[in-house]
């Protein structure tokens, strides 16, 4: 597909074209000291000239000398909250005049979204969530409705934080699939490529020039630099071999060691773009004439999540952390034929005590050799 160039000062045209095509634009912006995603109406809202500095348990924004909008790695969110809502009503029930129960399914009400700024690891996570919500036997209609209308404007990473490890996880930093448009930010603007007819139709409305060889080469070089910046690695390159090794270490003393540091707060599961655990509850009206059945994000670190037939089967932090990590990189393969970790590093950054799954995994499987 032909590569074109969009100047920084013409980014607003992209937002306007998306709006005209009926999309609500969601994009990155600064809030409360972090880069988050929310409604984007003007290009001035983008995090121009900012970079995120991340370490285990630490995140801060710094100014850079470059006037670029995407020279940061990631914030606490990915696409997950826009497709799999943190809380939503699944169905309602009310009594009719004869006292009979009437059930009504709840459908997605949000407008079509153009999501601007999805990274390679985010798209790998999206592919996993698709397996969970729309490629399984039971399809989640709300997720499906949002997914079908979603337009993805992806961005190739040109910077990696100290917690990124997408290279060893096999997911990035270059975007290779599932995008409508992909941008690579270089000096003065973006090298742009469409990946779908919808994307091409949006491009047709913008002031573009053919991307020069120099701009294309600069983009490729910057993506390679983002790969070279990464020092963290997940053992066995995130393959089934890692899961096999870990399942042989269920009694390793490191589980107890990590449990002494872990607060069982669940932050890691909330920021993880692939975690999908949830719980459901009913919210009856005060007059007892109707009720809402609500689904909300849950975490395998909560006590209630492992309550089964009168018993909490994972009563301590050790068993909960082990459940999370073994599911993520081992038994996930049995369910979805892929690892549940895409290497985004969010669980490391947003863990209040800086627990780093790459270090925990390395400590547990370092001496494992397949026979
Ligand atoms: S486990 Fe951690 S690094 Fe892996 S996808 Fe989830 S948040 Fe990202
Ligand atoms: S690993 Fe960190 S983020 Fe996850 S539950 Fe434990 S303390 Fe919280």
User: Ligand 2: distance of its center to the CA of 233 in Å?
Assistant: 20
CA-to-CA distance for 175 and 1, rounded, in angstroms?
Answer: 14
The pLDDT confidence band at residue 289, using thresholds 50, 70 and 90, is confident
Domain ranges of the chain: 4-228, 235-365
Which atom of ligand 1 is the closest one to the Cα of 342?
A: 5
Output the CA–CA distances (angstroms, integers) from residue 213 to 4, 29, 182, 191, 209, in the order listed.
Answer: 11, 31, 17, 10, 12
Nearest residue to 25 via CA among 9, 10, 37, 7: 37
pLDDT in tens, 232-287: 999 999 999 999 999 999 999 999 999 999 999 999 999 999 999 999 999 999 88
pLDDT surpassing 70 at residue 369: no
CA-to-CA distance for 371 and 364, rounded, in angstroms?
Answer: 17
Best residue among 59, 258, 298, 301 to mutate for probing ligand 2's pocket (most ligand atoms within 8 Å of CB) is 301
Chain-wide mean pLDDT for the chain?
Answer: 95
318 C-beta closer than 6 A to ligand 2:
no
353 C-beta closer than 6 A to ligand 2:
yes
User: Ligand 2: distance of its center to the CA of 298 in Å?
Assistant: 14
**pLDDT confidence of residue 10:** 97
User: Ligand 2: distance of its center to the CA of 325 in Å?
Assistant: 11
DSSP string over 70-127: S-S---S--SHHHHS-SEEEEEEEEE-TTS-EEEEE----SPPEEEEEE-HHHHHHHH
CA-to-CA distance for 242 and 224, rounded, in angstroms?
Answer: 26
Q: Are strands 58-63 and 50-55 parallel, antiparallel or unpaired?
A: antiparallel
Percent of the chain with pLDDT over 70: 99
**pLDDT confidence of residue 368:** 63
pLDDT in tens, 26-78: 999 999 999 999 999 999 999 999 999 999 999 999 999 999 999 999 999 99
The owner of tokens 């985010």 is 122
Best residue among 269, 300, 328, 349 to mutate for probing ligand 1's pocket (most ligand atoms within 8 Å of CB) is 328
25 in Cβ contact with 202 (< 8 Å): no
CA-to-CA distance for 270 and 184, rounded, in angstroms?
Answer: 29
Q: What residues flank ligand 1, with Cβ below 6 Å?
A: 271-274, 328, 341-347, 357
Sequence-ordered list of residues with C-beta below 8 angstroms from that of 167, at least 6 positions apart, any chain: 173, 227, 230, 343
pLDDT in tens, 101-152: 999 998 877 789 999 999 999 999 999 999 999 998 889 999 999 999 999 9
Question: Whose C-alpha lies nearest to ligand 2, atom 8?
Answer: 265
**pLDDT confidence of residue 370:** 52
**pLDDT confidence of residue 70:** 98
Q: Please, is 301 exposed, middle or buried when counting C-beta atoms within 10 Å of its C-beta (0-12, 13-18, 19+)?
A: buried
pLDDT in tens, 173-231: 999 988 999 999 999 999 999 999 999 999 999 999 999 999 999 999 999 999 999 99
Nearest residue to 157 via CA among 176, 139, 144, 138: 176
């Amino acid at each position: 597909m032909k590569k074109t160039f969009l100047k920084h000062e013409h980014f607003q045209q992209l937002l306007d074209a998306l709006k005209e095509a009926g999309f609500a634009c969601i994009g990155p912006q600064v809030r409360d000291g972090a880069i988050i995603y929310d409604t984007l109406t003007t290009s001035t809202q983008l995090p121009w000239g900012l970079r995120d500095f991340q370490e285990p348990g630490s995140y801060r924004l710094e100014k850079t000398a470059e006037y670029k909008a995407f020279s940061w790695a990631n914030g606490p969110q990915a696409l997950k909250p826009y497709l799999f809502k943190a809380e939503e009503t699944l169905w309602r029930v009310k009594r009719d005049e004869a006292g009979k129960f009437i059930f009504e399914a709840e459908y997605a009400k949000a407008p079509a979204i153009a999501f601007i700024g999805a990274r390679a690891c985010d798209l790998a996570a999206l592919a996993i969530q698709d397996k969970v919500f729309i490629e399984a036997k039971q399809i989640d209609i709300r997720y499906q409705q949002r997914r079908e209308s979603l337009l993805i404007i992806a961005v190739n990473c040109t910077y990696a934080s100290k917690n990124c490890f997408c290279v060893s996880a096999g997911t990035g930093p270059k975007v290779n699939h599932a995008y409508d448009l992909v941008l690579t930010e270089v000096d003065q603007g973006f090298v742009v490529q469409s990946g779908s007819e919808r994307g091409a139709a949006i491009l047709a409305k913008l002031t573009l020039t053919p991307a020069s060889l120099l701009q294309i080469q600069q983009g490729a070089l910057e993506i390679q630099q983002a790969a070279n910046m990464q020092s963290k690695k997940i053992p066995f390159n995130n393959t089934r071999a890692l899961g096999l090794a870990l399942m042989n270490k269920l009694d390793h003393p490191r589980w107890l060691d990590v449990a002494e540091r872990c607060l069982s707060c669940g932050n890691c599961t909330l920021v993880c773009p692939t975690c999908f655990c949830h719980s459901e509850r009913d919210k009856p009206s005060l007059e007892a004439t109707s009720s809402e059945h609500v689904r909300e994000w849950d975490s395998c670190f909560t006590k209630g999540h492992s309550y089964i037939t009168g018993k909490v089967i994972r009563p301590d932090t050790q068993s909960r952390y082990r459940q999370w990590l073994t599911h993520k990189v081992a038994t996930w393969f049995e369910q979805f034929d892929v690892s549940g970790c895409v290497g985004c590093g969010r669980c490391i950054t947003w863990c209040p005590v800086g627990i780093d799954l790459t270090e925990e995994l390395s400590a547990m499987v370092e001496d494992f050799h397949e026979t």
